A and B are shown apart, each in its own frame.
Chain A
Amino acid sequence: MAAFVQILIGSVLQGGLYALGAFGLSLSFGVLKILNLSHGDFLMLGGFGGYFALVYLGLNPFVSAIVLGAAFFLVGIGYHQAFLARLSHRTPQGLLVASVMVTLGTALAIEDLTSFLSGGAPVGIPYRLHSLTWGGAVFPVLRLILLAATLILTIALYYFFSRTFLGRAVRASTINRDGALLVGINIRRIALFTFGLGTALAAGTGVFYATLFTVEPFMGLALALKYLAVIVVGGMGSLPGVFVGGLVIAAAEGFTAYYAGPRWSPMVAFAILVAALLLKPQGLLGRE
């Protein structure tokens, strides 16, 4: 029983981390209809940035997450403006092909350059917080903080998208692009903002990723795929859905690992992805 509880707690914490990382992908896919395969690489860059911030500037991960998040917000805007903005006029078919090529190309270039400049070795931030023990189960404080941050972020983003004008404008442009244009919404600026936000979230998550695990130059593509599974399961276009998707997948992986053996847990994530696509493509909370 104690083991079950520990696994459950671990899964919730892990799911929170998945959600944090996947938010950005959900934004760019839900709003911009762009399959951003380079998402994982911005996370990786955030991780490397956090490492250097600690080593050369002595910044702890929380501070560097915010700093890097802000920096990568600008990077995301620049990236979108330079590469992705012109894709928006294409047909859905053409958009898919073009966005796959452009984001895949960017991902490969980023990974290779990082490997070349950093020497190729994995990097991790040696920062630790203690753990709480309660009722026989252990709660690592760092993960609890991240979970809390993810929850707060989910609520904040939810509020943002339903109460503020900017947020509603973003949603409007998702639902009906031409309608939004008619109403006077500056779609281009919305797109830039959304993408920048997504990238900022990715980089911020990357710092914590490097603290909890390690980051290495070639990790981006596989991670992007994992997050894709998260947003598909939770429902594309739904932000609470990202959270739910993260929890579902993390829990499935954790319990499979404990009861069936760790070798089967990667399969679980993809099996759920495929099953979700076939049974309920809108995801658990999605509304398409």
Chain B
Amino acid sequence: MMQSDSQAVIRARGLQKRYGSTVALAGIDLDIHAGRIVGLIGRNGAGKTTALKSILGLTPFGGELHVLGMDPFRNRRALMEQISYIADVAVLPKWMRVADVLDFASACHPGFSAEAALATLQETDIRLRSKVAELSKGMVTQLHLALVMAIDARLLVLDEPTLGLDVVYRKLFYSTLLNDYFDHSRTIIVTTHQVEEIEHILTDVVFIERGEIILAESLDVVAERFFEVRVPADTLERARALGPIAERRDVGQHVLMYETDSADRLEALGEVHRPRLADLFVAKVTGGAP
């Protein structure tokens, strides 16, 4: 994902953003290609929402950034015609009726199909005359999904789309997105704290910490480069000598994580397995501190 490519859906070079003396983005380089589902993962305040806002032209930025070949801040209106973006579900106006939401989207987004949205909503209990304020959180999620999926966009951006939802609706959201929307030509960027819930749908992952990208790879590459070894006490010192990037304890056992091209030499140390994305993120963020 990180290789340079002028045809990338998103291409950033030295992307910067400051809020007063606080550095939100410290000159990041990034390429995201068409047909990928990218997880942008970071802690609170790490810079992921600022990165999304820059990509969407919602905030001015320093450095170079092209989204679908356009400067997002200067060409925001033209760019948004090819983007589907709805921030977390809490921003849907509570005073709007469902029919009004569809009417507004239909008037303001040339890629929006009211028929498609209605078809999705017909499979739910949501009534067109209901106000958003009257809907349950699950219904708001379904409305959110109906909007997202009714927009014929090249790039879909989701910022914490399942915040505050229970596990059933979170799973429904992602499974519908993957099964009914993603067609391998669209690109999806999603930020979330619940890494483990989106791990299975991602093709790429970007870890961001303190305004810097600390990992940007496809999950295929991640699977070939990162390994965890459950190490018994008698081989612990040998394992530590091989330079793990992180070490944690799990049910009394030591689990060490390595970044290496081959797992061959690790197999002698204990049981080798691929790390979960959440553990890899913690390992990269904590910088290998045990």
Decide whether A and B assemble into one complex.
no
Interface residues in chain B, defined as those with a beta carbon under 8 Å from any beta carbon in chain A: none
Interface residues in chain A, defined as those with a beta carbon under 8 Å from any beta carbon in chain B: none
